[in-house]
Structure 1
Amino acid sequence: MEQVATAQSIWQKLKNKQPVVISGPCSAETELQVLETAIRLAKTGKVDMLRAGIWKPRTKPGMFEGIGTEGLAWLKKAKEISGLPLTVEVATAKHVEDSLKYGVDILWIGARTTVNPFSVQEVADALRGVDIPILVKNPINPDIELWLGGIERMAKVGLKQIGAIHRGFSNYGNTEFRNAPMWHLPIELKRRMPELPLICDPSHISGRRDNLLEIAQKAIDLDYDGIMLETHIDPDNAWSDAKQQITPEALGQLLDAIVWRQETTEREEFVSALEKFREQINHIDDELLTLLGNRMKISAQIGLYKRDNNITILQTNRWNDILEKSIKKGEKLGLTKDFILKYMDAVHLESINRQNRVMNEDRG
């Protein structure tokens, strides 16, 4: 039997900024599948924890919704054989009770649960007085306050070891990803809670195998503290999420391909060069803000002219012309169309708000 790592050793690794790798099947299907997956993952020497879905909240009834509590016995045996500590998703107090009974080391709350404060509170209450790490996945919808609320509910019952998992967000019309990453949201979460361990789940962001490495690498480049990737001994025949799972051996190759970066360095040459670049950025940011301020002053003057001539604020043809020219110029300067659209939309909205104020400032 392998030497079993502990939840505390895993948590300490996260706190020490040493990336943690969590892997295993989307769903525990059979005892043989769970044991073989664990053995092959341990053999790579690159995985810190074994994950497997025991209870699976699915979109429609009739889909495979998990093997249930009996799968926890398989995971316990897998832990004993492989030495890999366990993490599973929980959504109810009974899930928590059963998981603790079978020695699960770390729990996580799934995206479909995080979206419901009542369910999050039920899990939190079940963990009151229990010393166990808990990870909170982002809610399905892009709502950072809801995500923070789930984390805060865990903290309020006395849990000290709390982390987050970024698995992407549902986005109508999105085609590139299964769940749009919306990287700005986890970045904002990290800004507000810099000590919070943050793990990326490329499997659920992607929904397919071919760009798992790209997403995992971006997460590491953004200073995430770990990654969670789904593996299966026979991915094409998995009972759930077959398209996004890879074999344990393919996982090992993917992890070898990642460039593992550190948050900072004390090398004098690097620090000196970075400081010069940052100073340049600070000056440019100051200039941009000054220019934007001047632009808004002109927008306010335009608003006065529109008011005096009873002209509407929104001029659709003018706005379309500005957008078209901005996109063309931005692309020549190496700026993406997506960035230009978001930037110009923000500027346009501020301009509209400024004009609205001056056009209606005399009304009581």
Structure 2
Amino acid sequence: MKLNLNIVPLSSWLNTGKEPLIISGPCSAETEEQLLATAHLLAATGKVSVLRAGIWKPRTRPGEFEGIGSIGLEWLKRAKEETGLPTAVEVATAKHVEEALAAGVDILWVGARSTANPFTVQEIADALKGVDIPVLVKNPINPDLALWIGALERINNAGITKIGAIHRGFSSYEKTSFRNEPMWDLAIQLKAIAPELPMINDPSHICGNRELIPYIAQKALDLDMQGLMIESHIDPSVAWTDAKQQLTPAALAELADKLTLRKADSDNPVFDDQLATLRTEIDKLDTLIIQKIGERMKIVEKIGTFKRDNNVTILQITRWDEIVEKRTAMASALKLDKDFTVKFLELVHNESIRKQNEIMNTKPSVEV
């Protein structure tokens, strides 16, 4: 499957000559002084390509600071005039789009909460018809690739060809070190079906704290993402929103200096030959693994038939616990990650249950 989007290359609408591409600025525009001071410091680093700022900030609960509102667009306009940095803001309604365009904002982005609601995305798309402006679409809060794709399609169908995606992580019931789980596999799936789609990583919202940002930023670049959106504040300790995940401009510059940029392809024939040889070995092993899983499922079908004929339930927890315990111990000895092993076993187990369930609901053939 390939996603059919009408897209122009990122280099044709945002070619600043800086690598990696960094979009940065405060989570929220709080005061004119705060925004201008942060903007000047970011511009002085020479690392930032685009200045971002939150103007409208719908929060999870009412009563918290929800953005300075339209006046912040005038501050952003002045910051652009004084620093020369193009600007970017989040829009969540048609009115936001109209006001941002009137203020000369250069790039718009659709936030995670908006992406999750097709009605909201369509309202934004309708407001963008006939407009030539870059639009970035964040992944939805929940891990739903179809919603992300749908939002991109709606914006693209409105005639926006300067379009990109922002990977900002996903909400998860499981509590980990991250504010939002990266779930890299979903971002990789989107890149696989839309390889021409620019993808920006948002380590600030993935991490929720500044300490983890360097790790996520580097991993995103290693996965061939085109840039980073990182929140920066002149003094994060007094930020009105998301204080823990914002960097000072100086810390941002230090982070940028430490990032390693790697090429998507090699121009070394020796490297290419060696890589091709190793990939051939991988292909052989993958084929063998799939064959063995197929053989395993044949045995599962026999077990399903045996259980049906003897009126025994499909799921037997003690057996499943035994499998997990023994296989993870073996995987650990082979230096395989435990989480990966458990997820793999769960996938195989779920398919085994599905096959047995089919057999359970099929009447045995009667011999005559």
Tell me the TM-score normalised to structure 2 length: 0.94
Which residue is 2:149 aligned to? 148
- Write the distance in 2 (CA, Å) between the matches of 1:194 and 1:68: 36
Deviations 1:176-226 (A, max 9, x none): 111111111111111111111000000000000111000001100111011
Aligned partners of 1:10 and 1:48 also within 8 Å: no
Structure 1 residues 85, 142: CA separation in 2 closer, same or farther (over 3 Å shift)? same
Aligned partners of 1:14 and 1:197 also within 8 Å: no
Which residue is 2:267 aligned to? 266
Instruction: Tell which deviates more after alignment, 182-191 or 353-362.
Output: 353-362
How does 1:136-215 map onto structure 2 within 5 Å? 136-215=137-216
**Residues 1:125 and 2:126 are matched in the alignment:** yes
How does 1:212-291 map onto structure 2 within 5 Å? 212-291=213-292
- Write the distance in 1 (CA, Å) between the matches of 2:44 and 2:183: 34
Output the amino acid matched with 1:196.
Answer: L
- Write the distance in 2 (CA, Å) between the matches of 1:265 and 1:79: 38
Secondary structure at 1:89 match in 2 = strand
**Residues 1:36 and 2:37 are matched in the alignment:** yes
Which residue is 1:65 aligned to? 66
Query: What is the root-mean-square deviation in Å for CA atoms of aligned residues?
Result: 1.9
Cα displacement (A) at 1:13: 4.9
Secondary structure at 1:210 match in 2 = helix
Cα displacement (A) at 1:361: 2.3
Output the amino acid matched with 1:327.
Answer: T
Aligned partners of 1:299 and 1:354 also within 8 Å: yes
How does 1:292-307 map onto structure 2 within 5 Å? 292-307=293-308
Output the amino acid matched with 2:325.
Answer: E
Output the amino acid matched with 2:120.
Answer: S
Cα displacement (A) at 1:97: 0.7
Output the amino acid matched with 2:186.
Answer: L
Secondary structure at 1:39 match in 2 = helix
Deviations 1:34-88 (A, max 9, x none): 1111111111111100000000010111100011111111111111111110000
Deviations 1:278-317 (A, max 9, x none): 1010000000001101001111111111112111111110
**Residues 1:312 and 2:331 are matched in the alignment:** no
Secondary structure at 2:298 match in 1 = helix
Identity percentage of aligned residues: 57
Cα displacement (A) at 1:350: 1.0
Aligned partners of 2:10 and 2:162 also within 8 Å: no
Aligned partners of 1:13 and 1:19 also within 8 Å: no
Structure 1 residues 257, 286: CA separation in 2 closer, same or farther (over 3 Å shift)? same
Output the amino acid matched with 1:93.
Answer: A
Tell me the TM-score normalised to structure 1 length: 0.95
Aligned residues: 358
- Write the distance in 1 (CA, Å) between the matches of 2:25 and 2:341: 40
Deviations 1:224-270 (A, max 9, x none): 01100000000010000000001001000001111111211221111
- Write the distance in 2 (CA, Å) between the matches of 1:14 and 1:310: 67
Output the amino acid matched with 1:139.
Answer: P
Structure 1 stretches of 4+ moved >3 Å:
7-19
Structure 2 unaligned regions, length at least 5: 1-7
Aligned partners of 2:10 and 2:198 also within 8 Å: no
Output the amino acid matched with 2:33.
Answer: L
Structure 1 residues 284, 135: CA separation in 2 closer, same or farther (over 3 Å shift)? same
- Write the distance in 2 (CA, Å) between the matches of 1:243 and 1:140: 20
Which residue is 1:4 aligned to? none
Which residue is 1:355 aligned to? 356
Secondary structure at 1:135 match in 2 = strand
Aligned partners of 2:9 and 2:196 also within 8 Å: no
Secondary structure at 2:210 match in 1 = coil
- Write the distance in 1 (CA, Å) between the matches of 2:30 and 2:16: 33
Deviations 1:4-36 (A, max 9, x none): xxx998654579996311000000011111111
- Write the distance in 2 (CA, Å) between the matches of 1:20 and 1:89: 18
Output the amino acid matched with 1:285.
Answer: D
Which residue is 1:75 aligned to? 76
Structure 1 residues 234, 294: CA separation in 2 closer, same or farther (over 3 Å shift)? same
